[in-house]
Chains A and B, each alone.
Chain A
Amino acid sequence: MRALLSALLAGLIFGVGLCISGMSDPEKVLAFLDFSGNWSPRLMGVMLSAILVHAAWLRWLVRDDESAPTSIGAPPAGRRRIDAALLGGSALFGAGWGLAGYCPGPSVVALGTFAPSMIVFVLAALAGMALHRGLVRSSQTPTSK
């Protein structure tokens, strides 16, 4: 129950942060990606501010916490290298992001408009995630029985 409440609180704060910063408006996101148009540094300011707070928290507040893993920066086992999946996946994500101006966080926030096309976007994103899971599963399990 406590884990649910803290997750709800974290999600709420995250959502309020996205709204206040303007990142819930895809135009402001696309303005950052539009280097040959009316470029806006806003997204960079939001990210730098978030990184500053989070990096400071990790550095000074959880450093001596014994329940923390020895290396807080450790990525999931088996995925430690900069590989084709990391770069290819990020390139595909960037294409979708640049097309619509929504990354996963703002897309959930924008569901709050109850616009049918936003519901379609989020369902499509979930389908993309399920598709990836399906492909990973089928590549791990040999097809022959």
Chain B
Amino acid sequence: MLPAILGGALIGLSASLFWSLNRRIAGISGILSSALLGRAQERWSSLAFALGLLIAGVVFASFTELVPAPRLPVLPLAAAGLLVGFGTRLGGGCTSGHGVCGLSRFSLRSLAAVLTFIGSGALTVFVVRHLLKLWVPS
């Protein structure tokens, strides 16, 4: 559990720095959306944040087993991506925006969002893994 606590603390630190230095919420769905569709001044710092995520990914994927290549076929991955992109914008946040930042601010809306996406995620895993028996890890 120590890596989880340590990694989580770094995520909390990142959200704190981004709030204090940039006055922005470290919600990754919002950051990606702003990098793609946002206003100029926010757009560049969103791209810089995404670049930071990517650099961490490149380094850890090269030197550790912590970032594996996706296991799912490309079609379900594309469908999942579409759901994640559309859903997070309609719902106004994802695991970081509602989950970390929203809950840290004791937002009831974020709590409702988190319970909903965990419930819906668990239901999806149940249907895919236990009813359809698809892509079950060996």
Q: Which residues of A contact B (CB under 8 A)?
A: 2-27, 30, 33-37, 42, 45-55, 57-58, 61-62, 65, 67, 72-73, 75-76, 79-82, 85-100, 102-105, 107-118, 120-133
Contacts and interface: CB of A to CB of B under 8 A. Distances in A.
Contacts of A6: 17-18, 21-22, 45
Interface in B16-44: 16-24, 26, 28-29, 31-33, 36-37, 44
Interface residues of B, number: 108
Given A9-B52, A19-B56, A121-B81, 6 more contacts: A15-B60, A16-B56, A17-B13, A37-B125, A55-B105, A124-B79
Contact of A89 (B57, B60, B92): B92
The main secondary structure of chain B at its interface with chain A is: helix
B19 to A, nearest CB: 7
A120 B74 contact: yes
A57 B53 contact: no
A7 B19 contact: no
Interface centre among A15, A51, A61 (most CB of B within 10 A): A15
B53 A14 contact: yes
B48 A93 contact: no
B33 to A, nearest CB: 5
A72 B80 CA distance: 32
Contacts of B116: 86-87, 90-91, 94
A89 B70 contact: no
Interface string B2-13: 011111111111
Interface in B101-131: 101, 103-109, 112-114, 116-126, 128-130
Given A49-B9, A108-B32, A86 B49 contact: no
Going nearest first, the 6 A-B pairs with the smallest beta carbon separation are A11-B52, A21-B7, A128-B85, A112-B57, A15-B56, A89-B91
B16 A34 contact: no
